[in-house]
Structures are given as structure tokens and as C-alpha cells.
Amino acid sequence: MSDVLIRNEPVPETPYLAAGVTISLAGPMQRYALRARRAEDLETVLKAPLPRHIGASEGGIACLGPDEWYLRTEAGAAIPTASGLPVAITDISDRSICLVLEGPRAAEILMSGCPLDLNKFAVSQVTRTIYETVEVIIIREAEDRFHVELWRSFAAWFWIAMTTAARH
């Protein structure tokens, strides 16, 4: 058995360039699913404020539901443990991957298989939705830049769907 495991990303590391859009793999990062009935308990553990409105994000933390948040931080960063408070912090870094769509056609490309009108999304707005049948988390980082978080097992398919939409 090998002592060293090498991860091959399911999508190319070279960005895909098309008219009006660039599709690329985001850099490595840590991801955590956060759950707490009381946001204050999670704020105590993280020592950071949480966005309270579903769809809002700040400081790398997105509110996905009334008791659910999604934290993205730099690779290798550790977060505190729950220390007896009734919160759940689950490291999902290995499960997920992020693609970045950037350029004036970014929203158009994402809407080719997503039921939402992303042109109405404000910068820093976040949502969990679907692209065709795949669950994704879309984060609008700028007027022309979206981060799309999805399960690693769907990444190759999603890459093909995005690059195909970008060609048309």
C-alpha cells in the first residue's frame, strides 16, 4: 500500500476561456457545514458574527437555512471545536469542490440549467439550488463572478455542462 495519496482533481486545472466567460477551479480551501439552533452558540465557538438572513454571507460564512451555515476558509485553517455547546461542525472539505465562473456571461451560463434568475442576485448573495439535477451552492462574489460549490463526484459532469453552455 502506498504511504502517499495523490488527489487528482476531477476537472482541469487550466481555466476554460470562452467568449465572455472564464471557468476555473477555485484554489484549495477548507469547508465546514455548521448547524446550531441558536446562532449565538455558534458565534461563541467561532468567535465571529454569523449572517442571520438566509441567503446572506459575510466573512466566508453563508447562511443557508434557519439553523444552517456554510463556512469556507483558507486551506489548512483549523476552526475551534464545539466545546460543549449544542452545535455541529462538520468538515466537508474533501466532499466539495468549487468552480468559478467569471465574466459578463457568467450569470447566463449558470442560468442555462438553473431555475433562478441570477441577474437579480446581489453581490454576496448565496443560495442552495440545483443545476439540472445536481445540488449546488451559488455565491455571487462580484457582478461578474460566481463561485459554485458542488460535490466532487459531480464536478466532471458539471464542468462539461458549463463548458458546453459557454460554447453556445
CATH tag, 16-28+94-167 = 3.30.1360.120
The predicted-structure confidence for 106-117, as pLDDT tens digits, reads as follows 999 999 999 999
Q: Which CATH architecture has domain 29-91?
A: 2-Layer Sandwich (3.30)
Q: Express each pLDDT in 115-135 by its tens digit.
A: 999 999 999 999 999 999 999
Domain spans in the chain, listed from the N-terminal domain onward: 16-28+94-167, 29-91
DSSP the chain: --S---PPPSS-SSPEEETTEEEEEPPPEEEEEEEESSHHHHHHHHTS----STT-EETTEEEEETTEEEEEEETT------TTSSEEEEE-TTTEEEEEEESTTHHHHHHTT-SS-GGGPPTT-EEEEEETTEEEEEEEEETTEEEEEEEGGGHHHHHHHHHHHHH-
